[in-house]
Chains A and B, each alone.
Chain A
Amino acid sequence: MNKKKVISLIVRYSVYGLVALFFFWAISNNYFGYIFSESSTFLLLVKQHMQLVLVSSALALLVAIPGGILVTRKSFRRAEWVVSNTVNLGQTIPSLAVLALMISILGIGFQTAVFALFIYSLLPMYRNTVAGIDSIDENLIDAARGMGMKPVQILFRIELPNAAYSILAGVRTAIVLNIGTAALAYVVGGGGLGVWIFTGIQLFDNGYLISGAIPVTLLAIFVDYLLRLLERRIVPEGSRPPQEL
């Protein structure tokens, strides 16, 4: 066994150990108690959290990917600079500020939270779509044109399949980040598991804090896993990065 392997094993098992220790500590102090004693509230919060993530991610998906495809078309190339910088700008504003700004326009509640999360998910999806399409070898496009493929055929048969890995990685990043950021929805009255997290912070109550934070974490890990499975199905075998083959 080489050094690298030994180190990676040590790191891995120490992480497992820490996680186990954490759960032992949390369970022995009955910090997960609220999940069971207030299970109907818990389920409602989980449902709200998932709704926030689903709606905002779906909207972002519908805007960012077609947008990324559009700016990589020859006739829209010149617009790329403007679009990319606008999207980048959206990302540089702190998430709390976006929420606060949106309150003044949309009021408080679900729609404000969804809008802020939507803005936040755009960049990773859009940027990876553009990067994925841009990274395709010019020669492939040249060969495709030279063989008489129409632009639509080039898009669906060459560009999108070969950019799929990058695009899906962007979608995964955006959604996983989104699950974490959705905890902030509490601030604008959007509900979700953030309600318990913030309650826990305000009351110095570890029970609420952990009953809210751990499910968010587990949800993020689970969704990440699901999306990786989806990736394996969608990305064509030949265009996956070599280490995944």
Chain B
Amino acid sequence: MITFDQTTKTYEGGVTAVKGVDFTVEKGEIVVLLGPSGCGKTTLLRMVNRLETISDGKIMIDGEDSMSLDSIELRRKIGYVIQSNGLFPNMTIEENVMIVPDLLGWSKKKKKERFKKLMDMISMSSDEFGKRYPHELSGGQQQRIGVIRALAADPPVMLMDEPFGALDPIIREKIQDEFLQIQKEVNKTILFVSHDIDEAIRMADKIVLLRDGELMQYDTPSEMLVRPKSEFVREFFGKDRAIKSLSLHTIRELQDIIGLAEFDEGIEDTITINVNHDLRNTLSMLLNQEADQVIVIDDDGNKLGAITIDIVQKYLHFEIKAKPTLVQKG
């Protein structure tokens, strides 16, 4: 758990980067710090592991004032991932991943086992990659290594500064999904900086929207999309907020609430879509008119029904817009 209590950052010249921010990241939650560039989100993140000093207010980690701890020890207990992955070119992948355990003085055997376990998590072979150097890996692989390096000593808290920002969109989505899977397993308390709205909606349990160092709104993604508290929040998420909010829902939810259409075996030009697909991608697919009929199937391939633009629209109107408080993250 990370608690920000009137946290403020004022630079020497009198510029205030973060103004009295108050919020709590609960254990096991991913909170995304979102906002336009220069809003203070990275500064706020870096104040947690004291790479930036705290000018005023407090940051508590698991109820302990971060200033009461030794900064070196504090940092070893917090996983840190940065955009440019920060892998050390002079060290092999194994040495890179095992830096913090090494600093903490783990035994060779324990390190070896931990490395293997972490590599398994991201489906990379520890034998194949362990002795390689960072430059021999692709961007996506390097970023995965950056993530497991932060997890190496099993810290309760993780800070991630636009960790997937440098990746191309297809790989980014894949790694985001993979990371959410890992998070289900490791259940870390995560503070995540992003400037990408879609990423924030995808990854966040809650979003902190910042502007000029001030907290504008702290809410779940769906609440923020459906009930923006101010004009700034409304504008920040844009006119396509409704469509964006669809990515928080799956076809299964739609099926449970308003049901699917009957499908027609007679139509030949048919494509199928998995019931766990999110509604935003489904809508794009429908709008692209890739086929005359789109049939929803479950994991076993059973046909559950057909989906149309009308049904998605109906769901959007009656379920998302009318009952915002009932909306939960999918």
Residues of A within 8 A of B (CB): 137, 139-140, 142-150, 153, 157-158, 161-162, 236-239, 242
Q: How far is the CA of A23 from the CA of B186 in the complex (A)?
A: 73
The reply to whether B89 and A238 contact each other, CB–CB distance below 8 Å, is yes
Q: How far is the CA of A149 from the CA of B86 in the complex (A)?
A: 14
The reply to whether B84 and A238 contact each other, CB–CB distance below 8 Å, is no
B92 and chain A: residue at smallest CB distance: A238
A137 and chain B: residue at smallest CB distance: B84
Q: How far is the CA of A143 from the CA of B103 in the complex (A)?
A: 14
Residues of B within 8 A of A (CB): 49, 51, 72-78, 80, 82-84, 86, 88-92, 99-100, 103, 133-135, 149, 159
Q: How far is the CA of A161 from the CA of B77 in the complex (A)?
A: 26
B contact residues around A148 at 8 Å (CB): 72-77, 100, 103
The reply to whether A153 and B103 contact each other, CB–CB distance below 8 Å, is yes
Q: How far is the CA of A237 from the CA of B86 in the complex (A)?
A: 17
The reply to whether B134 and A140 contact each other, CB–CB distance below 8 Å, is no
Closest chain-A Cβ to B40's Cβ sits at a distance in Å of 17
B contact residues around A162 at 8 Å (CB): 88-90
Closest chain-B Cβ to A17's Cβ sits at a distance in Å of 40
Partner of B86, one of A140, A236, A238, A239: A140
A145 and chain B: residue at smallest CB distance: B51
Closest chain-A Cβ to B102's Cβ sits at a distance in Å of 9
Q: How far is the CA of A143 from the CA of B46 in the complex (A)?
A: 11
What's the dominant secondary structure at chain B's contact region? mixed
A contact residues around B88 at 8 Å (CB): 140, 143-144, 157-158, 162, 238
Partner of A238, one of B76, B77, B83, B134: B134
Q: How far is the CA of A157 from the CA of B84 in the complex (A)?
A: 19
Looking at A143, A149, A150, A157, which has the most chain B CB atoms within 10 Å of its CB?
Answer: A143
Which 6 residue pairs of A and B lie closest in terms of their CB atoms, listed nearest first?
A143-B86, A238-B133, A148-B75, A148-B76, A146-B80, A236-B90
Closest chain-A Cβ to B90's Cβ sits at a distance in Å of 4
The reply to whether B89 and A149 contact each other, CB–CB distance below 8 Å, is no
The reply to whether B84 and A161 contact each other, CB–CB distance below 8 Å, is no
Known: A145-B51, A146-B51, A150-B72. A161 touches B103 (CB 8 A): no
Closest chain-B Cβ to A202's Cβ sits at a distance in Å of 52
Looking at B78, B88, B92, B103, which has the most chain A CB atoms within 10 Å of its CB?
Answer: B88
Partner of B49, one of A144, A146, A153: A146
Q: How far is the CA of A158 from the CA of B90 in the complex (A)?
A: 7
A contact residues around B73 at 8 Å (CB): 148
The reply to whether A238 and B51 contact each other, CB–CB distance below 8 Å, is no
Partner of A147, one of B92, B103, B135: B103
Closest chain-A Cβ to B253's Cβ sits at a distance in Å of 39
B contact residues around A161 at 8 Å (CB): 90
B contact residues around A153 at 8 Å (CB): 103
A contact residues around B82 at 8 Å (CB): 139, 142-143, 146
